[in-house]
Structures are given as structure tokens and as C-alpha cells.
Chains A and B, each alone.
Chain A
Amino acid sequence: MKSVKVSAKTVEEAVRSALIRLGVSEEEAVIEIMDEGSKGLFGIGGKEARVLVSVKEKEETSLEKAKEFIDGIIKNMKLDCTFQASEDDESVKIIVSGKGVGGIIGRRGETLDAVQYLTSLYVNKGKHGEGYKRVIIDSENYRAKREETLIRLAKSMADKAVRYRRDMIFEPMNPYERRIIHSALQEYGSVTTRSIGEEPNRKIIVSPK
């Protein structure tokens, strides 16, 4: 952190000259008064005021960090895409579009999930719960379409389970996709769902009631 120590007759004067030296405004600085100073009697034995003024380190926002990371990934992967980023209280959302999006989605969104995970690590680096932001990366509605597909699949599997009176087992899925299936079948009174196995081979079983 850049900082200067300045002494002057008064605290105000010392702060003012420190800010000029650092070239920042008062809002951009941290001011620590080391000595208030005193006038002394008849100008004799007075002490100068001393202050330590430092430039506040600018914290990058989650949005800026996410943008920076995605930009680096796209450039280094030499993909022909652009992106838009937005932020709310809980999450940072990035939508990737362009000719090269296939490269960032990957097979069944595998690459998209990996990039999303790495971005979230970068954005939340050094945060301990406080200020944690969920990162969502989507591309041309890939996730929305995938969600529709999963819900359709869930319903057809549930129907089969009821029709054949036996357990139906899904392919292994990541937690995000499993959650979609579980919640889609929550309202189905005729079946129950549960997950078995260990990551990354954890899969859902749907059983008739």
C-alpha cells in the first residue's frame, strides 16, 4: 500500500499536503493520526502534528473479476465469442454468445460447467463466506434448454417406473442437474427419487410408491 508520513502545524494541514503528494482525494485514502500536535506556550515548545496517509487498495468487484477471467479464457482458447455480464446481490451472471460458443459449452455442457466452477473460484478467492457470489455462465440459453430436456426426461422415466412397477436409474449427473430432476419429480405423487453412488458417478433412482 502506498503511503506517506507528513508533519505540519495542524492535522488538517498535514492531511492536505499528504493527499496532494499521493494525488488522491480524501475518500480514496486511509488517514491515521499519529500525533495531534500541540501549540505550546507562546509558540515555544509546540509539537507538530503527524499523520500517516495511505492510498486505499481498490477492491475489484465480483463483476469485474468475472469479466476479467472469462475474457482471459475466451482469448486464450481463441474462441470467436463475446459475452455480457450482470450482477445482483447473490450472483454474477455471464451470457456467452457468438460463433465459437460450442467450444465453451463442450459435450453436455461439461466445459461450461468447468469454466463456471473456475470462474467462481476466482471471483470468490479470499472470501470466507462473506460476500460470496454464485457464478452462473450460460450460453445461448444452453442451460434453459438443457433444463427443459431434463424435465422431459424425468417425467418419462417416472412414467416408466410407474408402468413397469420397478426402479428406473438415470445416467450419472452433476449436482445441478440432479437437483432439476429431483424437483421436477417432487410434485409427482406416484414416485419417489433418491441418489446413489459417489461423485462424479452419482445418479438418481426413481421408484414407484
Chain B
Amino acid sequence: MKELLEFIAKSLVEKPDEVSVTQVETEMSLVLELRVAATDMGKIIGKQGKIAKAIRSVIRASAAKEKKKVIVDIV
């Protein structure tokens, strides 16, 4: 899951080296914290969060196989 998010984020930003994802796992859920360069924030969020929504949608689809709820946090 982490790799998938990293792959998508790195493909979209100008500074792929500054993309990092940390994984925080609890019993019920898996939280993926995505960090990108400040100047790349727009590339990840998009107008009215359109890009962020698409990213979450793909992650959610991939997480469906796992029992846990997966949350993507852009921090």
C-alpha cells in the first residue's frame, strides 16, 4: 500500500526525492502519511482536491482486499 502511494505521488510531483510516506498502523486502520515538497502540494491536491480524491480512490480500491480501513493523510 505504501509503495503504491509512493509510486503515484512520485509520478506527479516535480521533486520526487522529497516524497515520503510513513505508515501508522492500528488495530482497525492503516494511516498513510504522505509528505511532499511544499511547492508540490498543488500537484498532489489539485483544484478542489480533485487529484487527492483520485489518489485516495485508487488506494481505497487497492485496500479493499485487506480487512483494514486505509486512510491517506497529506501532511
Q: Are A106 and B55 in contact (CB under 8 A)?
A: no
- Chain A nearest CB, measured from B59 CB (Å): 9
Q: Are B11 and A122 in contact (CB under 8 A)?
A: yes
Q: Are B57 and A76 in contact (CB under 8 A)?
A: no
Expressed in whole angstroms, the Cα–Cα distance for A173 and B17 within the complex equals 37
- Chain B nearest CB, measured from A16 CB (Å): 38
Q: 0/1 per residue, B55-67, Cβ < 8 Å to A?
A: 1011001101100
Expressed in whole angstroms, the Cα–Cα distance for A114 and B50 within the complex equals 10
Q: Binding site of B, secondary structure by majority: helix, strand, loop or mixed?
A: helix
- Chain A nearest CB, measured from B55 CB (Å): 7
Tell which of B12, B48, B57, B64 touches A114, judged by Cβ atoms closer than 8 Å: B57
Contacting residues, chain B, for A118 (C-beta < 8 A)? 8, 11-12, 51, 54-55, 58
Cβ of A162 under 8 Å from chain B = no
Cβ of A111 under 8 Å from chain B = yes
Known contacts A114-B54, A117-B54; A77/B8 CB under 8 A: no
Contacting residues, chain A, for B58 (C-beta < 8 A)? 73, 77, 111, 114-115, 118
Expressed in whole angstroms, the Cα–Cα distance for A199 and B53 within the complex equals 12
Q: Are B57 and A122 in contact (CB under 8 A)?
A: no
Contacting residues, chain B, for A125 (C-beta < 8 A)? 12
Residues of A149-206 contacting chain B, CB below 8 A: 199-200
Contacting residues, chain B, for A77 (C-beta < 8 A)? 4, 58, 61-62
- Chain A nearest CB, measured from B49 CB (Å): 10
Expressed in whole angstroms, the Cα–Cα distance for A114 and B8 within the complex equals 12
Q: Are A111 and B57 in contact (CB under 8 A)?
A: yes
Q: 0/1 per residue, A79-110, Cβ < 8 Å to B?
A: 00000000000000000000000011010001
Cβ of A69 under 8 Å from chain B = yes
Expressed in whole angstroms, the Cα–Cα distance for A115 and B11 within the complex equals 13
Q: Are A76 and B12 in contact (CB under 8 A)?
A: no
Tell which of B8, B48, B51, B61 touches A103, judged by Cβ atoms closer than 8 Å: B61
Q: Are A69 and B11 in contact (CB under 8 A)?
A: yes
Contacting residues, chain A, for B65 (C-beta < 8 A)? 103
Tell which of B12, B57, B62, B64 touches A121, judged by Cβ atoms closer than 8 Å: B12
Q: Which residue of A lies closest to B46 (CB)?
A: A121
- Chain B nearest CB, measured from A38 CB (Å): 45
Contacts A106-B61, A118-B8 known; 7 new A-B pairs at CB < 8 A: A73-B7, A77-B62, A114-B54, A117-B51, A118-B11, A118-B58, A121-B51
B contact set with A: CB distance below 8 Å: 3-4, 7-8, 11-12, 48, 50-51, 53-55, 57-58, 61-62, 64-65
Chain A to chain B: the 7 pairs with minimum beta-carbon distance, closest first: A76-B4, A114-B57, A114-B54, A111-B61, A77-B62, A122-B11, A117-B54
